[in-house]
Structure 1
């Protein structure tokens, strides 16, 4: 956040499969995430697009539930391409 307040563009990638916390920490809620040909498009926290976010938590049906992904589903999500940072 200090970098953002210093005028820098910042991207945060939250790939903690066991407890993605960035959406809650930054009070983002449940934004709609879009996918394009090159990967998932990040969510911007501010109108100036200086803080880009992407979290596994955005892809979950209920962000308050525990993530129970095993085997191919877990490794498949971990390899998702992200774009726009």
Structure 2
């Protein structure tokens, strides 16, 4: 079984990486690429990351400093993703 610290660190890295996806997709779209399938897949991965983040926050508890980090990572990821999806029209 993996330690809570390792799992939390891994989740934070994944949330941070997912936060960069909209910028990469935007560049590809600006170059004329059709990324509709990739965006659908990313949407599923975003939902999965959100689910995992919520589970981690429950597991860590409200007084854990890691809970705040996970919350902010999840919120930043979701804000970037939803702004990107809204910009697609």
- The alignment's TM-score, normalised by the length of structure 2, stands at 0.30
Q: Which has the higher contact order (CA 8 A, sep 6+)?
A: 2
Q: Which has the higher helix share?
A: 2
- The alignment's TM-score, normalised by the length of structure 1, stands at 0.31
